[in-house]
Structure 1
């Protein structure tokens, strides 16, 4: 894989569960790795929900081969993106991601 195409930095995160001081369950995200990637935004879809306009971005992200699943998410430019598909190949992994609400 040509490393020159991996120009973007993304953060791979996994869901982290815990409890607060009162024993109540907490859900959050923990950083797993800071990765070099090639991010290509595919589309932006605007929809009207409950009278308010919202925008959703979809992107294709290529990273070096790594064990990534749809249970992970990415931070791209500080914004969270859910991983909707993982397409492994010999030298890299392609991800399809959608901006989290």
Structure 2
């Protein structure tokens, strides 16, 4: 993957258990590794009903350099941050033949209405 194809800076995060001020266990997202330049491509978009509310569902493919995948060991329990948007990683598709990149199939997590 040429450097010119990497157009977005992304962070991969894992859910980790932490304790709040009162000592109760809660979960929080922790960035693993360093932010990395990736090729982010929006594949599809649709509208769905969730909790009697219409929300947009955006699916993207994020291509990251293979060494980054080996460093962070991304899996479907993690999420990805890109330009202020949060994406749930649904599948990890490594290029096992040439080991140059990995594609992360992601779905945007809609922002919650306050």
Q: Which residue in the other structure is 1:99 paired with? A: 108
> What residue is the counterpart of 1:13 in the other structure?
13
Deviations 1:46-96 (A, max 9, x none): 023344221111000100011211122101211110100001111111110
Q: Secondary structure, in 3 states, of the residue corresponding to 2:77?
A: coil
Gaps of 5+ in 1: none
- 1:20–1:74 Cα change, 3 Å: same
Query: Normalising by the residue count of structure 2, what TM-score does the alignment of the two structures yield?
Result: 0.81
Higher strand share: 1
Stretches of structure 2 lacking an aligned partner (at least 5 in a row): none
Say whether the 8 Å CA contact 2:8–2:83 is kept in structure 1.
no
Shift >4 Å, 4+ stretches:
none
Instruction: Specify the alignment match of 1:80 in structure 2.
Output: 86
How far apart, in 1, do the equivalents of 2:81 and 2:46 lie?
19
TM-score (norm: length of structure 1): 0.90
Where do residues 20-31 of structure 1 align in structure 2 (5 Å cutoff)? 20-31=20-31
Q: Distance in 2 between matches of 1:50 and 1:8?
A: 32
Q: Distance in 2 between matches of 1:5 and 1:44?
A: 22
Instruction: Pick the structure with more helix per residue.
Output: 2
Distance 1:31 1:50 in 2: 30
- In structure 2, the residue matched to 1:4 is 4
